[in-house]
Amino acid sequence: MQQIHELREMLGQSNLSMDVLSRIEKHIKIVTNAIQQYPIVGATSLRDGFRQGVSEILEDEQILKENLDTEEVKEVISIWSKVKNVGGALIEADRIANASLNLLEKAEKGFNLLTGG
């Protein structure tokens, strides 16, 4: 969230056009929403946020390319890169946790069959 806060401060001082600024703000909102939803729905919020972000990046591709040399656009790209990495790691951890839980449930059933419990 610190990087998002810093980007918002940058936007307040920016000389970019209103169109570019509004598109960057749209990306900030998507990331912020995904992060805020994480405690409620888990890693899927980051995955879904990343998917929505990719869609927006494709939609904004020309404007982003035209402004790729600006710090503001570099920060947006950096933020999305972090969301992708963190989201991927959390989804993998969730997958491992679910597999472990399934294994424990099967072991418990097997133990109950052996002990008659």
Report d(CA 79, CA 64) in Å as an integer: 14
All structural domains of the chain with their residue ranges: 2-115
Half-sphere exposure of 74 (CA within 13 A, CB side): 4
**Per-block average pLDDT, block size 10, for the chain (117 residues)?**
91 94 94 88 82 88 92 91 75 66 73 73
Of the chain, the end-to-end C-alpha distance in Å amounts to 50
Give per-residue pLDDT as tens, 18-42.
Answer: 999 999 999 999 999 988 998 888 7
Give the residue among 69, 47, 65, 45 at the shortest CA–CA distance from 57: 65
Element (H, E) at 113: helix 71-115
